[in-house]
Each structure stands twice: as C-alpha cells, then as structure tokens.
Structure 1
C-alpha cells in the first residue's frame, strides 16, 4: 500500500476548488503540502487568471506565510504554466491576518476616518502615559450620579487600566441607580471554632465601611474576607451580589468608553496596535457600503493554524468570504454563508496552545456550524508523515487519556502511519540523584537542581553522539522546554560538556542584544546631551562605572549628567562625560554614517562588545555590522543622527528576526515556538520540575467560553474558588496540549529525561504542576506503565541512515542554481553600505516651473486628506476602470459600470464622466485607434527600470496597450482632477514629469515606439504632450533644471516640446 489511508480526503481538499472545507489535521499530517497542492490545482484550472488574484492565504506567522508562498510558487513553476498565470499568482495574498488587515485599511480606511499612513506599536507604555495625562474625565456614558457613585467604589486609575486592556463591543448601561444593599445576613452570622479568627474582625470592618458609604460621599474600601468557610462565603457573596453586579456593569461601560477613546487617541497620532488592525478591518467589513465593495473582490480565504485564530479574526475572515449583499453576522443569523470555494480552514484542536488569544469554543462552534449548515465539508487528516513507528505508538497509547474530550478538553485524533514508515525509537534517560549541598535553610533550589540536570544531559549527549540519536548532525537535534528562562541553564550545562548550542527564543527582542542596546543608548545620549537619566545609564552599562562613583559625582544633583558642555574634573565620571562631549562636537557636522562610525571608534564600542562572554552572546560582530549598514541606508534616506537614534529606540522592543540554525549546534527552543517545526531527534527534559506561571495583572476581565458572560476582577481578592478552579483547569489543559506538541516534533528519535531523583519532593511525590504529572505518568496513574517500559539505550539504525542519505541526495538534485563561492568582506560591506540602488517614484517628481504656467491664473487644488471626496472619487474611478476588459464589447462595459456605480461617492459625476469616456471610445480618433482587440492591454501595470548603477525607477502605469505586430505601446494615465476647461495646461504641467518618466522607462524596457498621454476624465480629451520615441530619434538636453526644450525629432521632422525634470533628462542622455 503506497498511499495513506486518508488519501481520498486529501484529494478531495486539493481537487474540489469550488467547495469549502474545514480540515482537522493532526501533527505532521502534511497540511502545508495539502494547501500548496490546492493552490497548484487552482493555478492549473481554466479560471486560474481569475481565481489566483482572489486568494488570501492567511498563516499564523510571516515565516509560515513565506514558506507557503515559496512552496506554492514552486508548484506553479513545476507545472510550466503561462506567464499570465504566474503574474496572476503573484497577485495572490500570502501573509498574517494583520497583514491582510493593513491591506484593507490602506485601501478603504479613509471611509472610517483613518489617516493615510500609520505605524504599528507593540509597546504602548509611552503612548498610554500621554493619553492618561490628557484625560480630564471618565465615565461620560454614565449619569452624573452614577459616575460619582462608581468612583466611590473603584479608583479612576483602575477603571483606566481596565479599559486599556479591554476587548469589548457594545456594553449596556447599568439598570438604574446603585442598589441599596443590606448586609444584615453577614452581621447575623455566628462564627465558631477557627472562624473566630477571621469572621468577627471582618464583620467589624464591614460595619465601619458601610457607615462610611451611607453617611459620607467619600471613597469606600470594602474589607477583604479571608475566611474560607463555604457557608459564610456563600452568605457574603449573596449579600454583595446586587451591589457588585451594578459596579461591574458600570465599570464595563467606563472601560468600553476608555477603550474607544484610547483607540481614537492612537489613530489621531497614526498609531495602531495589532488588535486595532483587526477591530478596524472588522468595522470596515460591517460598513454597509464599504463591506459590499470589499466582498465584491471575491476573496478566497485559506486559513492555516485555525486553532490559534481569535474570535474577531474568525469573524473578519468569514465575512470576507460571504456574498456582496450579505448582511449581519453569519454566525448569528446563518444567512448568506461563505460562497462555495471561498473559505477553507485547516487546524488542529490538539495544538491550541494560546488560550489567552485563541478561543477553542469559538473554533469548535465555527467548525460545527460550517458543517451543519452545509457551508463546508468536514475532513480529517490523520496520517502523520513526521513520526516514525515508535513515537507514533507512544503518542497513540498515552494521549488517549490526556486529550480525553472531558471538561472542555479536546478529543484526541488517532495518528495513522504513513506508507513505508521507519522504525523510530523512544529513549528513557533516567537522571541520577546528585549530592547537592543544602543551603542554610536546609533546601536545594530548583535552579541548582536544573544545573545538575543540564550537566548530566550534556555528558550523556557528548557520549552518545548524533549517530545513535539517528540525526545527521547536531543541528538536527532539538531540546524543548516549556519555559524560556530554562534554556539558559541548559546552554551552560551543554557547553560545559563541549557541545555547541543555539537558543531560538520565543520572544527575543532587538534590545536584548548588547550591540543594539549599547549603540541605541550611545546615540540617544549624543543626540540628547541633557538627558541625565540616559547618560547615567550609559556610564553604568557601557563604561562600567560603579553606582557609588555615579552617586558621589552627582551629589544629589541629577542635572550634572550632561554633555552639552565640558565637565571639568579628574574623576572617572568627569573624564567620561568630557569624552562624550568631545565626541558629540566632533560628529555634529558629519553625515550620519560617518558620525556613527566615529562615535563607535572613540568609545571603543566594538572592543567593549568583545569583552562579553561569547557563549552568552552569539555573533555580536554580525549584529553590529548590520546596525552600521542600517546607519548607511538611513543616511541615504536623508536621516540625521537624532532621527536615527529615535528609529532605533522605536524598534527597541520589536522581535528579532529568526536566525538560521548553525550546522554544529544543538537547538534550544521553547515548546511553544517548536510548533510547526520538526527535527530528527528531540529531547524533552525537566519532566518533574515545578512549572510556575506568572501572577496575573489586575484589573482584568474573564470571559466565559460557553456563555460569553464577562466577569470583572478588579483585584486578586475578587477571585473566587470557582474562578481559581476554572483557571487552573484551563492552564492544565493548555499544558497537556503543549506536551502533545512537544512529543510530536521528533522524526526518528524522542528522548524523555526522567528526573524524579532531582525534583521529586521529600515524600517522593512529584509536583502537581509538572510535565510528568500532566502526562499522567506518576505512580499508579494511567500512563505509568507506558512510560516505564521505554527503552534506555539509543541505537544506530541502518535503514534510517540509508533513508536520510537518499532524501538528502534527492533534495540536492532539485537545486538547479549553484551559488557562487566566495567570502563576503564585512568591513568592505559596511564601508559601502550607503552605496546602493536608490528607488525613484515618478509620482513624487517635483512640479515644473514655466513662465507659461505662471501666466495661467488658476487656484491649485488642495491636497486631499484621507477622507476627502476628491480622493475617494479618484480611488473609485481607478478601481472601476481597472475592471474593464478592453477587448470586451460596450455592453459588457456597461454591465461593469452599473455594478460599480453603486460604490461611487458621487454617482451623478460617475455617470457623466463614464458617458464622456464612451463617447470618446466610439469616435474615430479614440486612444485605441492604433490597437486592435487582439493586442495586449494591461491595467495597473507595474514596472521597475534600472536607470544606472545607483538609481532605479519604479511605478504603476494606469493603462498600457502593446501591439502584437510591432510592439509599439501607448501609455495612459487617468486623472480625475476637476479643472476649468481653459486651464487644463496647468494640470498637464503638474503631471508631465510623472508621465515623462513613465515614457522613458517603458521606452528603454520595450525598445519600441512609445506614446504617452493623460486622460482628463472630466475634460473630454486626452492630454498632451504625447511623447514618442521614434526609431531615428535624437534626444537633445540642455543643462537647465527645468526648461522648455525640444525633446525629440520624429520621422516627419516635426518637433514637440515637453518639460522634463533634470533627472529625467539625465535618463534621456543615457538613452
């Protein structure tokens, strides 16, 4: 049997491109291959040119999206399809949900008042502080009386923080005034036994608080009851219920208000968070006009990693795939489901490991609703192409009871073997007890126990070698941990054994690297010479000056830390401040790259980086060279030192790019980050180590997954036993799913490090919050026998070795391009970092100056803002004419116009100008007269032309016609500006540089006659000058920057004049 047992379902997903599917794909089941095969099938279909640009392939990370796109492109290229199909494929979207949202907001955001450009922020502390400082009042949605009453129970700061982290839609106002609550049942309660220590003191404090509440208008701090007596806790909760319900509802109203105001504050400053992008895109799709326009684009959504998609993201993707006329929320009304072939999702409930972000209940509900309503078919991929036989059997045997479909846990999907599966191996590594000396309290810390485990693991790996692990190199071996901070301990232990390791952190930031942090700090200080806080930090961290020396120098005066003027003194602080002041003065007149390089040289920054332990900080020289190269490119963009320092600081908290794994290094990685990856050998250590979670921040909101009801937790005392139990259950179930991820990453060898001898309690019990406990492998538990019977010695497998060799050889034969050999000279690259091809945009050319233009009295059009009617109309017109097929009949044009007219911001104007265009096209002297219906016509045609070694020209041409016979071309640029009929020359002059640049670029690329013109939509004509390159043309240039001059002589000898900016004439000279 050479086909997997689920091949029929795989083939159905790939081939039936006009049906929707919801696929449950187990670990290693080849979901990426299935998605790329489906895309390949679309590319091979007769409707490929129509369907491919509609694709929206949404992945969880940019890296996953890039891989998907590359593999799909390889499928298209292997199929040897036409260049038109490949061009259509290049218009498909591959990216994250946030990238898709940005694309929607850039195209349609003006409808909801978004700025034309915005930045993404991940660390909003600075923006939040600015917002808080400008807030003068909160609670506008409440009546004055209710607002005053709420602020007696909840501090304004708490309400603000609640709104900052809120994710709320519409919130109802509290019903009526604050209820008059009676606490008599609490006072009547008679405490007995141990409760005498807690209940009577609480009753007295409550009586004082109630008196303050009823007799004054002051803030009331209700006492906390520490009694755990169930009957008293029930009575207390019932007594406070009416008051607490009112407070919670009023708090939610204020939180929703703060959430809205804070988002508006960010938008005004051109700043959006990732959640903003999704929320605003969802607002767009729900807009009665824009939503229809967006759905008219017929998105065909393919969602990968659906289990990690949050409810808002699901709603957005579902709404994108519905018919244009759809209304309401499909999950609520079940009307107008996603169109056939327009929504597919692939996911695995077992690999849902982000409970704070994703919602398994919502995912289940969507999957079931799609299937039950007939909007999609359910498929299941159960054959794993990753796990070998031994690992597969262990997972099937043990996870049936772990992922048991009880208490909201997911159900386990039985894994099936692939054809010709390899034997595989699972190894049990029993670590030995260590004679660790206790500390003065008689205990041995977990940190020291972990160091001992890392030491033993390093010795075992060094002795075993990669061959017995059935790995081709150490790079093919990974060690997975559930906590990032544990990786450092492993690195030290493995390096002590002589092994090379590489950490692939889950959330490693740019600022975590000393090269980035130190250079950023240095440049901020040099650009802000009186920023005492930053200067003191730089002296301490970079120059190693002690806190004592800094304190003695300052003597309580922080303003002494400055480098605007020279500081006199013989102490180390004064000398260093003098050095920085001297550096600042010396680099002020320098270009950015030279100034940064000089500051680095004088502070010996690179040499200081070399003093750091190489085992803790990898490739610091490479990181530093990249920053210097960034300085060079930033100089080319016109940045100065202050701007460059701000740029580095702005991106300080951005995630670092994923680094490729080194051939000789064992990979240390978190289990979370390992999802989606695989290695030939995987080791899971610290099985019995206690896993502690960070304490939650308050205030916080908890949402019931089943009912959708929101619970407000203003402080930790609001957490009831029921809530604690629910949170612990959710955490345990998430960790169980994380273990499923960790144990399904190994292709050939899985090693489990059993460390009860190190981490078990004195009673030999293991911690309740440990991986071994969650695996149900403790004494007398379900999986004790299965894990206890695992073999202890890894062995070499000849069959596996032969398979790996054949696979490597097959992969090598697929590579058609051999990279040139040679070593990159980093020093030379840094020196020439600012020497690179600069991109010029024709639409950004300066306006021309001409005496003839100045003579025309014309009030220039004001540049439209993001919501101006002029901009909206221009966008609509370009979107409309892009849909016209220039070989179609006028009846088809009319159909398209009537369909698009309803989206126009000015339908009357649209009808008038469309009539003008039809009249022109029906005339003998229309712009298509030199071209037949069989000639090529390209709307929104992109181009990139290399001008010389340092410049290139990039742009998009509205419409271009190419003759099949002689290759001659007509370029047309649509202009919707409204100008007086006798003043169109002003508009021609404004856009002539842009048109001339288009003409020159296409002339050089096509090497044929090119004619260019502007179509003034409202002016009844094609605007000149129509520039043409004849075969015997000669281009004469004058040195003036802007001057009317003969631009060419055509074959008939007539000369046409045009106005071209200087750099375009330079291009002509080279032509």
Structure 2
C-alpha cells in the first residue's frame, strides 16, 4: 500500500519531506532506507549527515538497520569512502549532538570544555554563600514571600530550558520602586475575609492579624505566605479584589526576584562545568546565535533527518532546522520567513501527531507549525503512511472505535489517522477484564492495593500462554501513575510472578528504603542526631520519652546529652546498647562497599524482622524487598567506592527502579511501565491497568509552572499559584487544563498501540464509582470517548492462541483448557503461591516417546519417565502449598479431587496412593496441629547474600513449629525408589540432598528462624527421614 511513498522518500534526495507515520508503520526502516540511498549516491557527504533519534536505544537500532542495509547492497565489502563516511556520520540524540558542539566551541562560550553532565538525581550546585540581590526592597518581599521558598522556586526555574539571563534583562522594567506605602496596604486589608465557611472561621482572624504584623514590621525577620494554597489564593482574590490589586507590586517583585536568582544559579552552574540536559540545548542555541560561529557551522552543509519529530521541543527544532539553512539567512527566523527555510534535501522529519505526549516541553502546536512551514516550501512535501506492520485486525478496529471520536482535530487536538492492519497477521485479541467490586475486599488495606491483588490473581490464573505470550517477558502492564505500578509490583510478588519495573522515583517512600538510607547516612555521619533518633524510634522501637530521658538526664533544665554513635561496653539502657551495636557495626563495615555493608547491617540488627513487626506484615515479600535494595546497591556501586556517599548512591539506586528476584532473568519477567515510558516499545500482550480511577488533569505539585510560546525568543509566562502570574498568563489555567486532557487522550492511543497480539483493558469503573462522583473528575477510560458501540462487545475470557517464540517462529500450538476457579482461596496473611496450573494435550513428541517406551526403546523410556516425574513433583509441591490443613475430611477430599483433575491421567493413580499414605501418618497430624496454631509456613522464598556480589536464592517447602517452640524444616521428595530397602533409599536421599538442606538451614537462621530439626518426607514410602546435622 505504501511502497510508492517509501520509494519516493528514499530516492528523492533533493526534496524535504515531513512524513506522518502512525504507530507501527515502520518509521525506523523508512529513515534507514534514505540513509542507505544517500550513502550509495553521495558517500562524500556522510560526514555532514545528522540523524537525530529520541533515545540512545533508538539510535542503536537505527545504526544497525543502516549497516544491515549497506551490507545487503554491497554483498562483498563496503567501499573505503563509504566506510569512512558512515563512521563520521552522526546518529544519536539531540543532546549528544549538542555536547559535541559545546566541546568544539568551548573557548567561544567561555566555559569548561570538559564539563560533567548531571542526572536528575544530582542536586543543583549552589553558590556559597548565596549572593544577595542589590535592591533595598528585598527584605520587604521576604515578609510576604519567604526567602527559602523563593530560592527553591528559583532552583526549579534554573533547570528549565530557558535563557534566564535574557529573560531577566527583558523583565527589569517590572522592578518596583525603593519604597512602598505599608500604611496604604494595611488599610486595604479586607476585614471580612476568612470569616466565611467552616474551615475559615477560626483561621481567618489570625491570618489577618499576622498580615497586619507583617506590614507593620517590614524587618525581614518574619514572613507570612500570601496564600497557603491555590484554593486560599483564589478565595482571597474573589473576596478582596481591591486588596489583591494593591498587592500587585509585591507579587511582581517576588516573581522578578525568583527570575533573578534563577539566572544567577544557571550562570554559576555553567562556570562550574556542570550541565543538565536542558543546559546542553541552551548552550548549543547560544553558539548558533553568534553570526561568526553560525557561519562556520552552516558552511559544512548539514543534512538533518529527524525521528519522533512530534516530541521535539521549540529549542531543539530551532537548532536542527538552523543547521540545514543557508548561511546568508537571518538566524532563527524561519517561521517568520517561510521562504528562507532549509535547502533542498537538507531537512526531513518523521513523526506522528497522535503520539505527541510531552506537552510540558514539546507541545503539539510547535510540531504542526514546523510541519506546515516545511510543506509550504517549493521543495517540501507531506507524506502519509497507512500500512501498519504491528497491530492485528482486532486491535485496529478497537483503535477505530476508541479514538476516531476523540482525536477530532478540534480545539488544538490532532486528527485521527487510520492504519491498515498488518498483512498476514492473525486476528489478534482485545479483551475487557471487568473488576467485580465484590471480589475486591475493602478493609484496612488501600483499595488500590486490593485491586492490584485482584489483577495479579487473574494474571496468575490465566498464565502467559493463554494470553498469547510464550513467557512472562512478553507481557507488559501499563499505568498512568507510578504509585499504581508500585502496588502492582507488590501484588505480583505475592503471587510469585516475576516482574521488572521501569518507573522512576516510586520507591523513595517505602519504609525499607527509609531505613536502609538512614543506616547509610549514620555510617557517613555518626554524629547525625536526627537520623540516629529516627533509627532508635522506628527500628528499635524506643519511645520518645526514653530518648528524652537519655538526652536530659538532669531534667529539662539541664544540659542536653549528645546523641551519637559511641562504644558503651557496660550498657545500662536500651539506648546505650543500641548505640554500642550501631557503633561496632559502623567500625566493622567502614572498609566495605555499600552493598556488603548494608547486608551486614541488615543481618546483625534483624532489620527485616523489625520491619515486619513495625508494618504488621508476615509476608516473605518484605525479605525480598530488602534483599532487592541490597542487590541494587551491589550493582550500582562504583569500583573501589566505600560508604563515603552511601546515602546519595542509594538515592540514585531508588530512582532507577528495580526488578523482582523471582524469575531466572529480567527478560522473562512481566514489564511494568508508565504509559509514557512505553513509547517506542512493543510486546505480545499489553494490559492497561487502573484506567477507571478518577484523575485530576491539573497537577499542582510542580510549581512554579513555566509556559513558553512556540518560539524560543518569546517571553515565558510563569505561574506561582492560581492568580499569581506574570502579565499575559491570566488565561493559562484553562488552556493548561485542556492541553493536559488532550495529552492524556494521545497517551491512551500510544498505550493501545504497544500490543502485537493481545490488548487487555482492566475495567474498574464500578470499583471507583463513588470516588469519581465525589470528586467530579474524569477517569482515563473516559478519554476513550463514547463507548456504547464497541466497548460492550469486547470479550472477557481468553481464548487459545498460537504461541510465538522469542525469535518470532511458530511453536507447536497447544490446546489450553479453561481453568475452573479454586474453591479453596488462600487464607488472609498466608504465604502466596502459584495457582492456575494449565493442562495441555500431549504433544506429538510425547505420544511418540510413549509408543517407543511400550516397544522397549530404553532411551525414550528414560526421557518419558523423567518428564512424568518432573510433572508429578511440580504438582505435589503446588498441591501442598495450597493444602487446607484445617478443613474437614470431606472438604479435604473435595479439594484433592479438584486438584487431581489438573494432573496427567498417567499419574493420577500414583497420586491417590501417596496422598492416602500421607493422610494416615502421625506426621500429617503434627502438621495439622501446627497449622491450627498458625505456626506453619509453606513455600517460603528466601534471598541470602553469601559474599560480595554472590547471592543465593531459593524456596523452602515447609516449616512448622512444635509445641516445644522448635522449628522443623520439611522437604518434599517425590523420587521413585529403585531399591527395595528403605534404609538404602534413605541414605541415597541424604547423600544427594544434604548440601541443599544445609543451605536451607542457614537461610532460615538468616531470617531469624532457629531451625533445630530437618526432615525429608518421601511420598512413595509415606515415611519421614530425619536429617542429621551438627548445629554450631
């Protein structure tokens, strides 16, 4: 369908194209084809080729596609000019290209050329001491706008992509006079303000009293917020318009002071050679703003190919288009002079307005403005791709029904571009999983966590194969918010489903990270009383009164006693004992790296057990979460680095996300991403979760807001609070709210187009109906527009689908039966385990093996029996992991019959005999009694750090506590005996599994379980085999 368009884009090298390429139409292949054609015809121009991708990953893919195309065209070897030229071509992100420009022109800029790029975790460098502004009215400003808040706002502004020195020069005419009439301002105080409404009745008079004090003093020593929140400021503006107008010089001065601070901070950072990603773009823009430097660069004759153009911000567009223009044009004036744009064949871009999802820096209007300017040139043209290569027919119909009525091209929104389904693609599946409110228990746990647990149970019941994936790694769960993915990770761990998360910043608030970060901090600062007091209070459970009595042994009037790590050989109190333990640990771990040090601290002070006690949880997931952070600390630790910067390193670890320790490899784990992170990726199965929750489309936690026009030279509008703006920004709140909602609609489109085989909507609207009505907010499902026609037709049950291997080859299709609901749900608080075993029909290979076995084929008989033995062992462990220990005999038999249906018919008779033996033993009665006392643990996972960089991971079958408070470890063994003598068989098992069981004992003791006895239960014999151990 698109072959003619693709050939034109690749072969017409004297034209500038703007290609509209919806998701899955092959943008990377299109751009790589043009580069291959350019290399073949003009190899001498490759050194001036600039191919800009959105991510480093996309750049690697682009480079691989280009090299593959060149080797395909030149079968034997690449000519020398072509190899030399392609090695000099730039293929990467805009930030990488700007870095090369900055290093090349460092003498012109006057800044260090060997600069360091700061990541988002790195705090901004600050001048010490802070430079004071030269105006006498600054103390008066700080009476109403606190200095600390102004400087914090300035730090946020200084990291935004804006030349704040230039903004400051243009804002100087707003500066107030040197004196203000405080008496006149005080006279305009609205006496009646704050006395209306329940919440304002008490604080209104006090607020006015403080305001009068602030106006009367003007000493800069005290301050009063102009408004406690957006709602307070809006009420003040509505009830006292005259008073607010009289405050306009004060508010403007506060904003100007913030901009002045931002300009100073930005310049200080440049001179220190410390750059954020936004700084790289700004300095490259400064280079091209200079006539001499611009002329040198443009004489090189750059050819620019831009991928993901819809997510390119105004500054990046200005730089890239400027590189492709003639040297005799006016800098950065292309949008004002459309006829003086890039030369023929010098600039092409590929994008999709439906995937414009970074409104904060790259709004849709910017992309459309450059798109129209490029297409209006005599040698410019617009191309549209219509043939999809990813989405199956069912998903294409879903996109048509969901987004045609939403992406209408009105009020600044883009238009919907239909795509033809991928040729020779199977039908695909679009499902709707309805969350029944009655299946989500509402109690002490948050509703969000309970919904996540419902989704994890449903996912475990279905399994990857039933959804159309060959393993968990081909499944992705997308959500709009990071906190939703965080609770989902916890739910997946409880169901023993491996996962890998890619969301940032969501683990900073977890208790285990707080405690580990505090331990790392006191290792660096043993005198930090704040952190030490927190550890004593939270980790050791010492009350505030005990801490006070320790610090003030002579009473409140006496001199305070310092709280720091020190040896107390003869500790006389809990606090002294704790400080002595912490001191000894800090001395011992001082020579180790962060990972090993945290592992030692965690083990010695029993951190996981104390965390369980503090949270009231008994789940093994807590142990895994602590071990996860220790592993991440090992991975991120720099070579030879100790704990000198441990807490900051741990903070960086927290921002990088994590993965569970359940799977063999992260590539075979369920992927957890926010919808924005998913852009550019694709999976066999995509699940859209938590879309029924009510959303607020105006974020209020990212102040100050900065709104810039399409042109970098235009002045920004700055928002401090609702009603407090720089001039020209009065209408921005309404515009901002509309743009936020439109971006969410496009983000929903991006999420739906990530699936290759199966797309699943989790319909939880009924669960959040009350919250939605109370808040009057929309949910993300409302972004899909009218759903009366296509929504109700979506099926809720999975069907058997062909499986694809990782290489995309067809595997043997398996018939997957529907799994009946388990009549024995887990008891609340018990250890979760795998559920939803899938029964399949015997494959052709199984039938051939069985036939060969019956004919006496020895090798085939061994393979077939080994396969059956493995299946039986897995089934037995799953059976006992969910066993109803406290059920009646009839209930117990009903549970066994239900589970027996999931076992191969060839093994069912063996299972009946062995379970009957098990029921008749005294051992079974001991387990029943332990379960009745709630002293029985099954399928207990563990992760233990053995040495630096080495971690042991496993799972203990069963532990129970006897009446004598002795812990006993039990290991199930389904090995079929070859010997007729039970004694010989026992010795064989002991010799084979002794090291494994010894490892279990060590791990149990690591968790605080003092295991005194170990037993093997042999299912064929129905007997218990004691394991002799010499415990230290």
TM-score range, shorter chain: 0.5 to 0.7
2:156 matches 1:165: yes
Distance change in 2, residues 1:197/1:678 (3 Å): closer
Out of 711, 714, 717, the position equivalent to 2:720 is 714
Aligned partner of 1:655 in structure 2 is 656
Aligned partner of 1:681 in structure 2 is 685
| Cα separation, 2, equivalents of 1:387 and 1:769 | 28
Residue 745 (structure 1) shift: 1.4
| Cα separation, 1, equivalents of 2:690 and 2:318 | 40
Out of 404, 417, 426, the position equivalent to 2:430 is 426
Q: Secondary structure of the residue that 1:758 maps to in structure 2?
A: coil
Residue 675 (structure 1) shift: 1.3
| Deviations 1:42-64, CA, capped at 9 Å, x for gaps | 33x1432x333333332222233
2:781 matches 1:772: yes
- Given that residues 53 and 89 in structure 1 are in contact (C-alpha distance below 8 angstroms), is that contact kept between their aligned partners in structure 2? yes
| Cα separation, 1, equivalents of 2:769 and 2:275 | 47
Distance change in 2, residues 1:627/1:78 (3 Å): farther
Q: Secondary structure of the residue that 2:20 maps to in structure 1?
A: strand
| Deviations 1:1001-1031, CA, capped at 9 Å, x for gaps | xxxxxxxxxxxxxxxxxxxxxxxxxxxxxxx
Distance change in 2, residues 1:95/1:233 (3 Å): same
Aligned partner of 1:51 in structure 2 is 45
- Given that residues 688 and 766 in structure 1 are in contact (C-alpha distance below 8 angstroms), is that contact kept between their aligned partners in structure 2? no
| Cα separation, 2, equivalents of 1:658 and 1:66 | 24
Residue 434 (structure 1) shift: 0.7
Counterparts of residues 836-847 of structure 1 (less than 5 Å)? none
Distance change in 2, residues 1:773/1:186 (3 Å): farther
| Cα separation, 2, equivalents of 1:187 and 1:552 | 44
Residue 711 (structure 1) shift: 3.9
Residue 146 (structure 1) shift: 7.6
Aligned partner of 1:91 in structure 2 is 88
Residue 391 (structure 1) shift: 0.8
- Given that residues 524 and 645 in structure 2 are in contact (C-alpha distance below 8 angstroms), is that contact kept between their aligned partners in structure 1? no
Residue 183 (structure 1) shift: 11
- Given that residues 700 and 712 in structure 1 are in contact (C-alpha distance below 8 angstroms), is that contact kept between their aligned partners in structure 2? yes
Q: What are structure 2's unaligned runs of at least 5 residues?
A: 553-559, 613-618, 813-944, 951-1032
Q: Secondary structure of the residue that 1:737 maps to in structure 2?
A: helix
| Cα separation, 2, equivalents of 1:319 and 1:272 | 23
| Deviations 1:573-601, CA, capped at 9 Å, x for gaps | 5455445655666687x7x77x9868966
Aligned partner of 1:901 in structure 2 is none
Out of 571, 596, 605, the position equivalent to 1:569 is 571
Distance change in 2, residues 1:18/1:150 (3 Å): farther
Residue 390 (structure 1) shift: 0.9
Distance change in 2, residues 1:257/1:786 (3 Å): same
CA RMSD of aligned residues (A): 5.2
Aligned partner of 2:502 in structure 1 is 505
Q: Normalised by the size of structure 2, how large is the TM-score? A: 0.64
Distance change in 2, residues 1:786/1:587 (3 Å): closer
2:314 matches 1:308: no
- Given that residues 567 and 577 in structure 1 are in contact (C-alpha distance below 8 angstroms), is that contact kept between their aligned partners in structure 2? no
Aligned partner of 1:65 in structure 2 is 59
Q: Secondary structure of the residue that 1:682 maps to in structure 2?
A: strand
Aligned partner of 1:387 in structure 2 is 391
Aligned partner of 2:919 in structure 1 is none
2:639 matches 1:634: yes
Counterparts of residues 800-949 of structure 1 (less than 5 Å)? 806=809
Distance change in 2, residues 1:718/1:596 (3 Å): closer
| Cα separation, 2, equivalents of 1:226 and 1:646 | 34
Counterparts of residues 214-613 of structure 1 (less than 5 Å)? 244=248, 250-251=253-254, 253-334=256-337, 336-374=340-378, 376-434=380-438, 448-496=446-494, 498=495, 500-508=497-505, 525-526=522-523, 528-533=525-530, 546=542, 551=547, 555=551, 559-563=562-566, 569=571, 571=573, 573-575=575-577, 577-578=579-580, 581=583, 604=603
Residue 211 (structure 1) shift: 13
Q: Secondary structure of the residue that 1:346 maps to in structure 2?
A: strand
Aligned partner of 2:115 in structure 1 is 118
Distance change in 2, residues 1:283/1:581 (3 Å): same
Aligned partner of 1:135 in structure 2 is 130
| Cα separation, 2, equivalents of 1:96 and 1:436 | 45
Q: Secondary structure of the residue that 2:371 maps to in structure 1?
A: helix
- Given that residues 188 and 242 in structure 2 are in contact (C-alpha distance below 8 angstroms), is that contact kept between their aligned partners in structure 1? no
Residue 231 (structure 1) shift: 14
Residue 559 (structure 1) shift: 3.7
Distance change in 2, residues 1:287/1:461 (3 Å): same
Aligned partner of 1:25 in structure 2 is 21
- Given that residues 598 and 630 in structure 2 are in contact (C-alpha distance below 8 angstroms), is that contact kept between their aligned partners in structure 1? no
| Cα separation, 2, equivalents of 1:235 and 1:448 | 39
Q: Normalised by the size of structure 1, how large is the TM-score? A: 0.62
Residue 261 (structure 1) shift: 0.8
| Deviations 1:347-371, CA, capped at 9 Å, x for gaps | 2221122222222211111111122
- Given that residues 141 and 254 in structure 2 are in contact (C-alpha distance below 8 angstroms), is that contact kept between their aligned partners in structure 1? yes
Aligned partner of 1:937 in structure 2 is none
- Given that residues 467 and 799 in structure 2 are in contact (C-alpha distance below 8 angstroms), is that contact kept between their aligned partners in structure 1? yes
Counterparts of residues 922-1071 of structure 1 (less than 5 Å)? none
Residue 526 (structure 1) shift: 4.6
Residue 748 (structure 1) shift: 1.6
Distance change in 2, residues 1:827/1:15 (3 Å): farther
Residue 408 (structure 1) shift: 1.4
| Cα separation, 2, equivalents of 1:225 and 1:427 | 43
| Cα separation, 1, equivalents of 2:750 and 2:507 | 27
Aligned partner of 2:743 in structure 1 is 734
Q: Secondary structure of the residue that 1:345 maps to in structure 2?
A: strand
| Cα separation, 2, equivalents of 1:783 and 1:322 | 48
Answer with 469-478 or 673-682: which moved more.
469-478
| Deviations 1:800-859, CA, capped at 9 Å, x for gaps | 8699864689xxxxxxxxxxxxxxxx989959xxxxxxxxxxxxxxxxxxxxxxxxxxxx
Residue 8 (structure 1) shift: 2.1
2:41 matches 1:39: no
- Given that residues 492 and 498 in structure 2 are in contact (C-alpha distance below 8 angstroms), is that contact kept between their aligned partners in structure 1? yes
| Deviations 1:303-352, CA, capped at 9 Å, x for gaps | 22222222222222222333345442133543742333333222222112
Residue 395 (structure 1) shift: 0.7
- Given that residues 24 and 380 in structure 1 are in contact (C-alpha distance below 8 angstroms), is that contact kept between their aligned partners in structure 2? yes
Q: Secondary structure of the residue that 1:94 maps to in structure 2?
A: strand
Out of 103, 107, 112, the position equivalent to 2:104 is 107
| Cα separation, 2, equivalents of 1:577 and 1:22 | 67
Distance change in 2, residues 1:784/1:242 (3 Å): farther
| Cα separation, 1, equivalents of 2:695 and 2:73 | 50
- Given that residues 477 and 667 in structure 1 are in contact (C-alpha distance below 8 angstroms), is that contact kept between their aligned partners in structure 2? yes
Residue 549 (structure 1) shift: 9.6
- Given that residues 198 and 225 in structure 1 are in contact (C-alpha distance below 8 angstroms), is that contact kept between their aligned partners in structure 2? no
Residue 787 (structure 1) shift: 0.9
Q: What are structure 1's unaligned runs of at least 5 residues?
A: 440-444, 777-781, 810-825, 832-1071
Q: Secondary structure of the residue that 1:411 maps to in structure 2?
A: coil
Answer with 329-338 or 363-372: which moved more.
329-338
Residue 402 (structure 1) shift: 0.8
| Cα separation, 1, equivalents of 2:29 and 2:213 | 69
Out of 649, 673, 676, the position equivalent to 1:672 is 676
| Cα separation, 2, equivalents of 1:614 and 1:15 | 61
Residue 105 (structure 1) shift: 1.7
Q: Secondary structure of the residue that 1:480 maps to in structure 2?
A: strand
Distance change in 2, residues 1:644/1:791 (3 Å): closer
